[in-house]
Structure 1
């Protein structure tokens, strides 16, 4: 939120006080935290302390390498309790004084203040400042009754005023400014579809159902990651406003409503280490089952479908050699005007249990069903929820209702423990019927003119609601399907939402532009601690999307963490796109038809399942996402910082989706040796190079990084197979690689591990398996050799 009018002035009707001088610094009795008294003027004598506001700043460390700063103007004011932390250890910090300075240290990072000096804080590592708060960097702004207020869009009863000055939230705001260096780049803030590098942007953390082509987002996370080696979490579950070099060009400012602000600094120095510390405290992404990595097909949104339609779609995929792993029923498995009441449309689905059993047994499919937390008044759940007090109410006690989405719909009050369990019971019944996964749609349209059961602040609940919603469903899936087998397909999220995967990108257009903006959103979400991400292959909107867009998106989608074909008004089965091409009189080579492209890249993903599953384990254990922005794997390469049309899939594969009809694509290969997955072409560079190519529909830039040991499989029927049984090991280990050994760990279905290692052996490479099991090794030239006794030399 911008409070200033240029550099010198403030906006009209805005008054401010600023932290000015460090007056007192006191260490706690245990030496693990410190408190700073900061008056809002310089004190020359004792009389200056009269009628003078001040800030109280508390510094602590909840984990090694993490420093927490809580600043208050009025300590008695109501404040947000923040996000729940895991694995806290407030003995991680230590206070020391030296030469008029007080230093608070946690691991390699320290916070320094100068006693009696002008207000300021420096965050340092080995004496180098990585971020700092200078004079006027801690402020309280007050809006008087005449301050300009932006009104909500007409008819949108879910939206507070977010642009301009949000007087409807609070009269007072607390703001912090943290310096940014001239070459520093900022990433994250959740799934954001605009420019990938966030410098120069104004960002509001406020969940909205706004599509994928604006500054609104479904998944807002008040966390950002800096190329300077640190990350920042603003520990506020409600509205946080960021100005990323957009008000003061030299700092990131964040402001929150109320009299206090709480933020945490996570040291790296690498992006992966920052996310490791962040997800250790906020929660790791749950591990997801192997089947979830396979291809998902949906009924799409408003299409007509019944049992026969579903059978034909599934049969059509298998008949064409395109193996499915999951089938998803979207909204209309329930009756129109009845969402969500968990009741099947009996006219369309005569015997749901039998249908689900057949999909499980005959087709070996896992089945997903769509739900949301909005309860239509014509559905069977509305009266029950109303009478038991399970629906959100207005301050006057009336049920909160709207006609936007479903006629007369109400909203489940997840702050009521009984309502929480009531909704879980409905989900549990669906799971017992045979549903394996749940698509938790919506969760962003949460009103602020309501009273919650537990007295929660409506401004805070707007963003936090999604966490309670997704958590309620995920708990049931873990209880019924087992830990490690629970899968959501969630649209909305906030900080902590990474614990309940998977998340998808929302309602995108069926265009190359939207394909690119979806990737930017996914890479931003990956920079915010989320381990897995998906998107609608072919785009969501559009009745008959262009087949070129669809085929390019198929390659991108099947080289993503998770892969789902989904649309709005039309099915996204590939043969329909081929039929449209034929109707247009287009002649398409057999290998470039939509069916052939879908088959090829589905088989490729199944081949990669041992490697992808291992990347998912890494996400679960360390917080490193499966799909990684280039800067995350190459933090020292300045060229990698701005790349948003390519990514690393796990540690070893570089993917550059094609966003053009012609197949023209430009992308960057960082320094080192790279091998083309399809052609075996090798490229080496000491500085990194740009490539400009033209690709057919059945091709995409896919490169193997030097120093890689990629375990692949042989099963083209299903993602569920024994990954360590007779695998093919792809070896890329040039003599220029700095390391002398490589390893890859494969997880078996019983949870056991087998490790494959490669070590230099003269001019060759010796490969071994940890339990002497045999395997096939393939070098970058495509030459294969079979091991004997689990060992060979290439």
Structure 2
């Protein structure tokens, strides 16, 4: 029987749910689509890294079913011979198909749902995934956490991080998971829950979604093109606002160490021709030294001893067209006065027995502001308004959000295990509302690494997190590309990374070559920003090398020259939800080769970027879809297929479409490359 555009077809073996001519779910007695069970989990957190073990006591197929229909809905009761049951309601609403989970019986806290798959189908999304863009062939636990150091169990760096601090991570660890995936069958699927989940894409003929609490619903939406599909995704979850105009003036320079040092490094960069839009000093509120490196004093207000006269310098910088940015996160160091105030007001999460709860962040301890308490949420929003916005900051890193432990007690009475994943979205909303309520939305920029469902409507800019300072596939320069592409498919179209990476441990040190290659890529992202890293004194810093500053001057000049194009892309992201960085197949759907390319991307529809992600190379292989292409640094023309180009420093593998309406602008960029490129950048 037809109900608008979906069908629930019953037969002798079972039933089929179809939507817009796509078979989504097939349930038979021999191959059920629904399982329920019971498990007992052990969740251990150590400095944002989680060890999760589940002892599954039962897993029962719900083979039997009864179906009832009315004019708009289909009700399905599923049950087993031994008393387990689950009720579903299938309906269409706002051109989306919903399968709602209404109730279950028995001792059940584990659910498995199988979605139909094709053998040659590809799948993308699940939040921000740094190792793999096409998710087929692997399973992806969805739990916000530190992503880990190295993220590759076969490497020395990851092994050492595991041994020394349980912090090595794996391919699936991410700051920003989301229970949503996009299929090449041109639908997306979203599972509405904040519990621990594991999406398994290993089977040829189905995707199995596991969730540790009864979900509210599974939702599907379809489209005829990927552009339309991603636009629908962002329409559902929310869209990011426009970037502030000042961002397009150039690089946000990351410097630490106090007022004099920051201004000295800034002036040196300006003297070398580096285009600057901002000066970012993450230690504006003070510093704490640990064995990990230079950390911050987590008490969110200006530290006049470390940054004397900053209250005046901020406004002087504004007059010069340079904005000052700082840092904040949702935790408070015990030694700070903000912790004392929050503690006295009862605004901190506690242990289950009501005792004080302090989280180990690496040789210092902090309280958790309980955002489920409306008064605490408003108080912390007030901290942002007074100590950051009123002070004059034009932006900040809104860090962390992943560290909510599962054994704390929250004001709203909901288990912290259920609240853990949604915590980054609540943290994003706190920052967003502070901007909106002060009239600063669109003028001030905050950037986050953590996320979950719904973060799209609140986060003004994603940042890729703490990459290692190397060329490694899973945690180095190139890992930010699948991160940008996967999160872009989820509706987060504004993404960027720390130029040069951040994490330097176990002998790993940033090189000049890494920095130059990273800067070449960053010029073709929405925002350019540097970071000194966790151990600044041991790593290459751009302001210590004239050749690197000249290279950075080139790449920031390219970024600024392309700003009219970038502004149009950002506007499209805000209005239509189409990301700035896009997979090749989004514009070349008929080209089968584009669906497994994860280390190149389209920068809008007219520029193709293929970053150099290996060290010591001078030639680079690029795949160009069938079109007429021009190599932006040289003006050389190419057609589709695999091509090789010379890639000395200052001549990245970036191409534009010959027929682009922006061709005049792109030709100006080519002239800029030819005027500014020098042969000694890499010396």
Query: Shorter-chain TM-score: which interval?
Result: 0.7 to 0.9
- Deviation of 1:642 (Å): 0.6
- SS at the partner of 1:35? strand
TM-score when scaled to structure 2? 0.81
Aligned to 2:479: 517
Instruction: Tell me which of 440, 462, 470 is aligned to 1:503.
Output: 462
Aligned to 2:525: 560
Aligned to 2:499: 537
**Structure 2 residue 626 is matched with structure 1 residue 671:** yes
**Structure 2 residue 295 is matched with structure 1 residue 329:** no
Structure 2 vs 1, CA of residues 258 and 190 (structure 1 numbering), >3 Å: closer, same or farther? closer
Structure 2 vs 1, CA of residues 74 and 663 (structure 1 numbering), >3 Å: closer, same or farther? same
Structure 2 vs 1, CA of residues 648 and 432 (structure 1 numbering), >3 Å: closer, same or farther? same
Structure 2 vs 1, CA of residues 541 and 295 (structure 1 numbering), >3 Å: closer, same or farther? farther
**Structure 2 residue 232 is matched with structure 1 residue 274:** no
- SS at the partner of 2:301? coil
* Deviation by residue 1:666-714 (Cα, 9 ceiling, x = unmatched): 1110012112223222223xxx400123311010111112442128xxx
- Deviation of 1:619 (Å): 0.7
- Deviation of 1:22 (Å): 4.2
**Structure 2 residue 642 is matched with structure 1 residue 690:** yes
State the alpha-carbon separation in 1 of the partners of residues 226 and 80 from structure 2. Answer: 36
- Deviation of 1:415 (Å): 0.9
Select between 410-419 and 254-263 the one with higher mean Cα deviation: 254-263
- Deviation of 1:54 (Å): 3.2
Structure 2 vs 1, CA of residues 323 and 281 (structure 1 numbering), >3 Å: closer, same or farther? same
Is the CA contact (8 Å cut-off) linking 2:112 and 2:211 kept in structure 1? yes
- Deviation of 1:32 (Å): 3.7
Instruction: Tell me which of 258, 261, 266 is aligned to 1:306.
Output: 258
- Deviation of 1:512 (Å): 1.7
* Deviation by residue 1:63-107 (Cα, 9 ceiling, x = unmatched): 22x2111235517x9xxxxxxxxxxxxxxxxxxxxxxxxxxxxxx
Structure 2 vs 1, CA of residues 62 and 459 (structure 1 numbering), >3 Å: closer, same or farther? farther
Aligned to 1:473: 431
Structure 2 vs 1, CA of residues 23 and 606 (structure 1 numbering), >3 Å: closer, same or farther? same
* Deviation by residue 1:453-503 (Cα, 9 ceiling, x = unmatched): 111221121111111111111211233353332421111111211222211
Q: Aligned runs of 1:80-159 on 2, under 5 Å?
A: none
State the alpha-carbon separation in 1 of the partners of residues 177 and 360 from structure 2. Answer: 25
Aligned to 1:120: none
- Deviation of 1:194 (Å): 1.5
Aligned to 2:134: 197
- Deviation of 1:223 (Å): 0.9
Instruction: Tell me which of 440, 463, 483 is aligned to 1:482.
Output: 440
- Deviation of 1:541 (Å): 2.6
State the alpha-carbon separation in 1 of the partners of residues 453 and 670 from structure 2. Answer: 42
Structure 2 vs 1, CA of residues 502 and 182 (structure 1 numbering), >3 Å: closer, same or farther? same
State the alpha-carbon separation in 2 of the partners of residues 16 and 201 from structure 1. Answer: 21
- Aligned Cα root-mean-square deviation (Å): 2.7
Is the CA contact (8 Å cut-off) linking 1:467 and 1:493 kept in structure 2? yes
- Deviation of 1:298 (Å): 4.3
- Deviation of 1:393 (Å): 1.2
State the alpha-carbon separation in 2 of the partners of residues 208 and 275 from structure 1. Answer: 26
State the alpha-carbon separation in 2 of the partners of residues 625 and 484 from structure 1. Answer: 18
Aligned to 2:206: 251
State the alpha-carbon separation in 1 of the partners of residues 434 and 58 from structure 2. Answer: 49
* Deviation by residue 1:334-377 (Cα, 9 ceiling, x = unmatched): 2539833223222222222112112212x311121111111111
State the alpha-carbon separation in 1 of the partners of residues 581 and 261 from structure 2. Answer: 34
State the alpha-carbon separation in 2 of the partners of residues 481 and 676 from structure 1. Answer: 43
Is the CA contact (8 Å cut-off) linking 1:340 and 1:373 kept in structure 2? no
**Structure 2 residue 402 is matched with structure 1 residue 444:** yes
> Higher Cα Rg: structure 1 or 2?
1
State the alpha-carbon separation in 2 of the partners of residues 403 and 679 from structure 1. Answer: 52
* Deviation by residue 1:520-567 (Cα, 9 ceiling, x = unmatched): 222221122211101111111348521111111110011112111113
Aligned to 1:109: none
Select between 481-490 and 312-321 the one with higher mean Cα deviation: 481-490
State the alpha-carbon separation in 2 of the partners of residues 486 and 347 from structure 1. Answer: 26
Aligned to 1:645: 599
Aligned to 2:104: 74
Is the CA contact (8 Å cut-off) linking 1:327 and 1:365 kept in structure 2? yes
Aligned to 1:35: 75
Structure 2 vs 1, CA of residues 484 and 402 (structure 1 numbering), >3 Å: closer, same or farther? closer
Aligned to 1:548: 513
**Structure 2 residue 168 is matched with structure 1 residue 206:** no
State the alpha-carbon separation in 1 of the partners of residues 597 and 456 from structure 2. Answer: 24
Instruction: Tell me which of 268, 283, 288 is aligned to 1:316.
Output: 268
- Deviation of 1:36 (Å): 2.1
**Structure 2 residue 62 is matched with structure 1 residue 19:** yes
- SS at the partner of 1:360? helix
Aligned to 2:544: 576
Is the CA contact (8 Å cut-off) linking 2:562 and 2:665 kept in structure 1? no
State the alpha-carbon separation in 2 of the partners of residues 393 and 511 from structure 1. Answer: 39
Is the CA contact (8 Å cut-off) linking 1:240 and 1:255 kept in structure 2? yes
Aligned to 1:221: 178
**Structure 2 residue 306 is matched with structure 1 residue 263:** no
Is the CA contact (8 Å cut-off) linking 1:376 and 1:409 kept in structure 2? yes
**Structure 2 residue 242 is matched with structure 1 residue 287:** yes
Structure 2 vs 1, CA of residues 259 and 346 (structure 1 numbering), >3 Å: closer, same or farther? closer
Instruction: Tell me which of 76, 90, 99 is aligned to 1:59.
Output: 90
Is the CA contact (8 Å cut-off) linking 2:67 and 2:74 kept in structure 1? no
Structure with the higher helix share, 1 or 2: 2
State the alpha-carbon separation in 1 of the partners of residues 377 and 231 from structure 2. Answer: 31
State the alpha-carbon separation in 1 of the partners of residues 230 and 489 from structure 2. Answer: 8
State the alpha-carbon separation in 2 of the partners of residues 508 and 353 from structure 1. Answer: 32
Greater relative contact order (CA < 8 Å, ≥ 6 in sequence): 2
State the alpha-carbon separation in 2 of the partners of residues 395 and 777 from structure 1. Answer: 60
State the alpha-carbon separation in 1 of the partners of residues 253 and 103 from structure 2. Answer: 52
State the alpha-carbon separation in 2 of the partners of residues 433 and 37 from structure 1. Answer: 58
Instruction: Tell me which of 657, 668, 679 is aligned to 1:705.
Output: 657
State the alpha-carbon separation in 1 of the partners of residues 471 and 244 from structure 2. Answer: 31
State the alpha-carbon separation in 1 of the partners of residues 339 and 633 from structure 2. Answer: 55
Aligned to 1:339: 297
- SS at the partner of 2:643? strand
Aligned to 1:492: 450
State the alpha-carbon separation in 2 of the partners of residues 665 and 595 from structure 1. Answer: 24
Aligned to 1:621: 575
TM-score when scaled to structure 1? 0.70
State the alpha-carbon separation in 2 of the partners of residues 407 and 12 from structure 1. Answer: 33
- SS at the partner of 1:670? strand
- SS at the partner of 1:354? helix
Aligned to 1:155: none
